[in-house]
Structures are given as structure tokens and as C-alpha cells.
Chain A
Amino acid sequence: MKDCPVGTELPPLTIEATPTFVVSTALATRDFQDVHHDRDAALQRGSKDIFLNILTDTGLVQRFVTDWAGPEAFVRSIKIRLGVPCYAYDTLTFTGRVTERDGDDVVIAVSGVDSLGEHVVGTVALTLGGE
């Protein structure tokens, strides 16, 4: 079992949101909205560039937490609130800390920040497995 009292910081995760990353994650999450793969369409709709989709944010938050918790953990919930967009060519940095702990059950507060500000903020509840 992980030794992680409330307040434990998770190792940060940095994601380079290259156009390839934005497009490949949109398609891997079966999200074909043009603003995630077609730069001209994104510009026409008033965006600066193509940008990350929400299903990818959920996936990244999961990856960030389980990278730390390990493969024996069970993710129970991922609750996120979206802030500024994450456009192609930006860098997204996730940080997190343990905010609640009850036996094997922990809650992690997560924040993902890019050059425009807070892109995603939320909490992940998981049950830690043995190690």
C-alpha cells in the first residue's frame, strides 16, 4: 500500500500538446468534431488553433493519477471542470495532491495548467491496490 498521507504531492506530468497529439487523441476518443483536427475550421469558429477535446482531458487526468498510484489501483470517479482551452503547440502541466484518505480510498485534487491559465481542474477518487 502506498504511504501517502493527506497533502502528499504527485509527481507532475508534462504534456506537449503538439498538433499530432491533439488530433490523435481526438480520433482515439472517437470525437470527430472539426475543431479538434481541422485548423481552418477552428479558426473560422473563432479559436486560435485546434484544441484538446474533453474526453482526452478525462483520459489525461486518469493517466496522471494512475502513473502515480500504479496498476493495482481502481479509479472510482473522475470529476473535472474545464477552464481555458489547450491549443495545439501549448504545454500542459498536471499537478496534484492527496486531499482525502480513508483506508485504501483516496481523493486526489488535480490541476492542469497551460500558457493561458488553468485548463482543467478536478478530483479523482481511487482505491489503492496492494504493492
Chain B
Amino acid sequence: MSIQEAAERIAGQGESAPRAARDAVNQAMVNNWVEAIGDRNPVYVDEEFAAKSVHKGLVAPPAMAQVWTMGGLHWTRASDDPLGAMMEVLDEAGFTSVVATNSEQNYHRYLRTGEHVSATAKLESVVGPKRTALGEGWFVTTKTTWYVGDEAVADMVFRVLKFRPPDAAPAKAAAPVLRPVISKDTEFFWAGLREGELRIQRWGETLRHPPGPMPPDGDLGAKPDHVVACGRGTVYSYVVHHHPKVPGKDLPFVVALVELEEGVRVMGELLDADPETVHIGLGVEAAFVKIDEELTLPAWRVAR
């Protein structure tokens, strides 16, 4: 069924069943409303003033017409709600975003405390597809009528634009990378990456990577520090990963073991490299891939 056909079917169903407001028009809700909006018109709150006015007694603000029948916190649409039905049709057609564009309310008379309103809604028109600043979309117009008993007291024409956002590039998920286990022995290395430094553990004259708890000679009393690598090196070995999928990576990608000028070897992804042209001995430079505030991964780029 086309969007137009679905619209005709929904419009053909006419007015939805009347839905009663949760509460009768009441002073408590009026008081909250005028306080929040900042409306100091005395005909809503000052009984004595209102009685002497043209309204001959307290009235509810006409702009509250829609408020009485709002759904509340745990609201779900009624099954015969025409706007809900039309939204579903357009969602399925890929017009997934919505923005209200027009509200036109007519007040046939002011409401008073104790009156209980109910509302019906019907689909007036569905117009589209239209090119808009927000993207291609359809204007969906519904009409709501509020009744007290059989008397129509207010109505509203409400229009929304249901649109497909222009090819917003799907946001690359930042989170789903494989996260390293960071220990007391390796903390300095990851802290360095966050600051754009490639830090190599040093035990006296000896550099060691990956960092560990002891120097290569096993001296239990030794304490390490670190040097900051200059970041230049050559590819010592590499693999081109085709399969299986790796979270956060587009396949294929290259992982290179790089021999640094300092003499140690460090592993990382070789970014933006054509797997065909990668070779042992290729000159590379350190790169830093920020995943989030906590994690930056070491990587390589082909040296210029």
C-alpha cells in the first residue's frame, strides 16, 4: 500500500472515539499553569475580580484546552488514534523523524472549573513528499475537537513534518573496540598515549616492550622508569586481517609490528595503508587513535 493509500484509509475512518480528560477542569492545574507561564491575568485566579468581569466568574485559560486531555507520564496512544497510525506508516517508509510545524486552536468558549472535556481526533490530510530544509518528508495534518458533552468547545488543527534526515553519516560507535587490560605495570604506557607520547619502559640501560614487572635479567630490586620514543620506525612484520570481523574496524586492515629507532618493537594498526603496498622495511610514524577520554590506542602511519 502506498503512503497516499494508507492516508486515505486512515482518513476514511473519521473521528477517533472520544477520549476523556483524566481530570475535570480544576483550579489546581490552572494555578500551576499560570504560575509556570507567568500569566497574571486575574480572571483565572481571582474569584472576586472574575465575578465582576465580562467572564462573570473564574475561567480556565483558553490555551489550556489541549492540556486537559494530554496523556500524562505513562501514556500510550489509543489504537484508533489517526496520528499514531499515520506515523507508523511513515516510519516504515523510512520517514523516521518528526517535528511539529503548526498548531491552530479555536476557542468557542472559555472552560470553567468542574467541566469534563473529551477529545476526538481525525486525519485531515497527508501531503508529500516535499523537499524541506530538514530533508524529504510528508506534512501530516490532524484535527482535534474538544467537547463538553455534545458541545464542541475548542478545536485544533495540528501539523507535523515527518521526514527522512539527509544521509547523516551513521555515527561510528566509539565504544565497541576491544579494550586493553591496564595493569600497574602498563599504566604509564596508556597514560602516555592519552598525552600523545609513546612511552617505553626502561630498566637502567635496557628498554623493554611490552612493559613488564621485572627487567630481563630478573633483578627483583630494580625499579623501572621510561623514555619517550621518537615515534619513527620500520615495519618488522605485519598481517593483513581479512576475517573475522573485529568490533570498531572496517575489514581488511593491517596490523604491523614496528621496530622503533630505539630498538624495541611495538605493535599497532597501520592506518590508511593499502595492504598491497605494505612491506617489511616500510618507514612508519607513530599515531594516536583516541577512542574516548580513557583510552587512546597506539597506531602507525606510513612515513612521508
Contact = CB atoms under 8 A, between A and B. Distances in A.
Interface string B41-73: 111000001000110000001111011001111
Contacts of A32: 71-73, 75
Interface stretch (A4-12, A20-28, A108-116): A20-28
B42 A54 contact: no
Interface string A41-75: 00000000000001111111111001100011011
A80 B107 CA distance: 14
A77 B36 contact: no
Q: Max chain B CB contacts within 10 Å: which of A61, A78, A129, A130? A: A78
Contacts of A54: 100, 103
B292 to A, nearest CB: 16
Contacts of A2: none
Interface residues of B, number: 36
A63 B37 contact: yes
A104 B35 CA distance: 29
B67 A29 contact: yes
Contacts of B37: 25, 28, 56, 59-60, 63
B71 to A, nearest CB: 8
B105 A29 contact: no
A78 B63 contact: yes
Contacts of A72: 53-54
A125 B103 CA distance: 14
Contacts of B244: none
Given A63-B38, A71-B42, A80-B103, 7 more contacts: A25-B36, A32-B72, A55-B63, A58-B103, A62-B39, A79-B104, A82-B100
Interface of B: 29, 32-33, 35-43, 49, 53-54, 61-64, 66-67, 70-73, 75, 99-107, 110
